[in-house]
């Protein structure tokens, strides 16, 4: 008897390549239909989408409003080259101006998050006349050459050296960084920010175009600085006339319970913001860079040396409009905040029962569990940038057996369901996590 799932996997392996792994190690799920927070594989098994695919499917699968918008725009016209003005382009720019943080006012549309970051760095360098961009270790900004160099994620290492003008500093990580040893999180944040300023001085402020930071840390472990850190970042940018680029590719569009992750710190005023993922909820590829009116005015008389064949793609713009309207009309930013509290309480309850849980981090529907072999020593259950350890393999296997789809990376388990999730579905996911953590407890050193 034929196995539909295995047949689909083998056909995909025979003619396509996948990312971030050797092809022999690729052991994919399949998907043949999806709705809301669930999808079904080729053998009919239902999966709870606990990571919103790549933490981008904020509206869940098959949202009718977005599907209808795509259909209607496709019936009108699907493509216009980037120098043509269209109604979806104009309307999306207006909507983004309404919801954007601080003084951000004007948008440049891209095809995804990585090229949004690429173009944000280009614009900062063109506007300032300076070359260097400071970023943090343990960050991720995309997989194109410049964006990959900007990220501190170890996935960049195989393609180094990258662009020569990136400078990194050690960012906040209160649970594990030695900069926080014997210090409170606030005191550690102060040290980290002081070292950032020292880096600025060593590199020469007159050479630094921008500081690039995630508005709320994502795939590098949801490692977030607090108010102390962000106040100092803003002070440093103001003091040395350095632009602040905020990467909201993952944390934007309600993921953290605010429109953008940086909105948790209303005193921060980004000069440029990169976004993607939740912008179209993954339905159509799209990204954007928003800039202040002052930066936009610079390019009234100076050429913007940037371009993409699919910039301002009408189908993508129409999709983004429908997504933003859905977030607003259906109260999904509030739902992310409210369900995030439910999720957080559930995760903390699990932490009390399972000695393998070292820390729970995040906010809204943007949370991660860090697993350890020993709470006192904080020895990780799987090493940084190492193959997945036996206990973490057991965690991943247990989740998969139960039908929960999420990311298990190093010693972290990500918990980031779609913004349409309800309390019963969160409880369903927590029950599955409970079983997986029980498997990890067997490896805790007493």
Indicate if 279 and 173 belong to the same structural domain.
yes
User: d(Cα 253, Cα 255) in Å, to the nearest integer?
Assistant: 6
Judgement on whether residues 235 and 345 belong to the same structural domain of the protein: no
Residue-wise pLDDT for 101-124, tens only, equals 889 999 999 999 999 999 999 999
- Please indicate, yes or no, whether residues 248 and 336 belong to a single structural domain of this protein: no
Whether 157 has a pLDDT exceeding 70, the answer reads yes
The verdict on 45 and 75 lying in the same domain is: no
Q: pLDDT tens digits, residue range 59-94?
A: 999 999 999 999 999 999 999 999 999 999 999 999
The model's pLDDT over 367-409, given as tens digits with 9 standing for 90+, comes to 999 999 999 999 999 999 999 999 999 999 999 999 999 999 9
Mark whether 167 and 80 lie in a shared domain: yes
pLDDT tens digit sequence for 306-365 = 999 999 999 999 999 999 999 999 999 999 999 999 999 999 999 999 999 999 999 999
How far apart (Å, rounded) are the C-alpha atoms in residues 21 and 273? 30
pLDDT for residue 131 is more than 70: yes
Q: Say yes or no: 92 and 203 in one domain.
A: yes
Judge if 174 and 303 occupy the same domain.
yes
Q: What CATH number is attached to the domain comprising 408? A: 3.90.1150.10
Per-residue pLDDT at 4 exceeds 70: yes
| Mean pLDDT across 257-275 | 98
Average pLDDT value for residue range 172-180: 96
User: Looking at 288, 309, 329, which one is the last position of a domain?
Assistant: 329
Mean pLDDT over residues 184-202, rounded? 97
Q: Assess whether 177 and 320 both reside in one domain.
A: yes
The answer to whether residue 9 is domain-embedded is: no
Mean pLDDT of 31-42: 98
**pLDDT exceeding 90 applies to what percent of the chain?**
97
Note the pLDDT of residue 1: 59
Among the candidates 329, 360, 394, a domain finishes at 329
Tell me if 150 is assigned to some domain.
yes
Answer yes or no: is 5 within a domain: no
- Report yes or no on 346 lying in a domain: yes
Residue with tokens 């109260």: 331
Are both 269 and 291 inside the same structural domain?
A: yes
Number of domains in the chain: 2
Q: Is residue 132 part of a domain?
A: yes
pLDDT in tens, 212-252: 999 999 999 999 999 999 999 999 999 999 999 999 999 99
One domain for residues 219 and 359: no
Q: What is the pTM of this model?
A: 0.96
Residue 119 in any domain: the answer is: yes
Q: How high does pLDDT run on average in the chain?
A: 97
| Cβ neighbours of 25 (radius 10 Å) | 9
Supply the CATH number for residue 273's domain: 3.40.640.10
Tens-place pLDDT, residues 244-260: 999 999 999 999 999 99
pLDDT at 160: 87
Q: Which of 329, 359, 388 is the last residue of a domain?
A: 329
pLDDT class of 412 with cuts at 50, 70, 90: very high
pLDDT at 2 (0 to 100): 80
User: Is residue 49 located within the same domain as residue 102?
Assistant: no
Q: What is the pLDDT of residues 333-349, one digit of tens each?
A: 999 999 999 999 999 99
Indicate whether 195 and 224 sit together in one domain.
yes
Domain with 343, as residue range(s), is: 31-62+331-441
């Amino acid at each position: 008897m034929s196995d539909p799932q295995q047949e689909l996997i083998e056909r995909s392996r025979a003619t396509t390549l996948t990312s971030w792994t050797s092809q022999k190690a690729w052991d994919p799920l399949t998907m043949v239909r999806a709705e809301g927070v669930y999808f079904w594989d080729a053998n009919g098994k239902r999966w709870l989408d606990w990571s919103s695919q790549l933490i981008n499917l904020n509206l869940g699968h098959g949202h009718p409003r977005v599907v209808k918008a795509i259909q209607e725009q496709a019936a009108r016209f699907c493509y216009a080259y980037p120098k043509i003005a269209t109604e979806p382009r104009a309307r999306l720019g207006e909507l983004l101006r309404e919801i954007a943080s601080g003084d951000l006012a004007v948008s440049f549309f891209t095809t995804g998050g990585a090229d949004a970051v690429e173009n944000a760095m280009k614009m900062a360098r063109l506007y300032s006349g300076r070359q260097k961009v400071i970023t943090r270790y343990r960050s991720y900004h995309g997989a194109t050459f410049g964006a990959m160099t900007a990220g501190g994620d170890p996935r960049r290492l195989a393609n180094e050296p990258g662009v020569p003008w990136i400078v990194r500093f050690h960012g906040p990580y209160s649970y594990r960084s030695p900069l926080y040893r014997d210090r409170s999180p606030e005191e550690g944040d102060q040290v980290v920010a002081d070292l950032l300023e020292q880096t600025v001085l060593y590199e020469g402020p007159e050479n630094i175009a921008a500081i690039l930071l995630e508005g709320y840390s994502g795939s590098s472990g949801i490692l977030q600085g607090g108010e102390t850190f962000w106040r100092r970042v803003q002070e440093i940018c103001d003091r040395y006339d350095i632009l602040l680029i905020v990467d909201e590719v993952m944390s934007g569009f309600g993921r953290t319970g605010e429109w953008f992750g940086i909105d948790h710190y209303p005193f921060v005023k980004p000069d440029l913001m990169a976004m993607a993922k939740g912008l179209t909820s993954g339905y159509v590829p799209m990204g954007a860079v928003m800039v202040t009116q002052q930066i936009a005015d610079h390019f009234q008389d100076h050429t913007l040396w940037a371009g993409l064949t699919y910039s301002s793609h009408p189908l993508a713009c129409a999709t983004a409009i429908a997504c933003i309207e859905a977030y607003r009309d259906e109260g999904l930013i509030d739902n992310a905040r409210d369900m995030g509290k439910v999720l957080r309480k559930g995760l903390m309850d699990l932490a009390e029962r399972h000695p393998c849980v070292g820390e729970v981090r995040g906010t809204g529907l943007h949370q991660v569990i860090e697993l350890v072999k020993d709470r006192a020593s904080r020895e990780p259950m799987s090493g940084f940038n190492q193959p997945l350890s036996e206990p973490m393999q057991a965690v991943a296997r247990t989740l998969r057996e139960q039908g929960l789809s999420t990311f298990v990376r190093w010693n972290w388990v990500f918990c980031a369901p779609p913004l349409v999730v309800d309390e019963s579905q969160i409880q369903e996911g927590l029950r599955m996590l409970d079983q997986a953590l029980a498997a990890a407890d067997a490896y805790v050193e007493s």
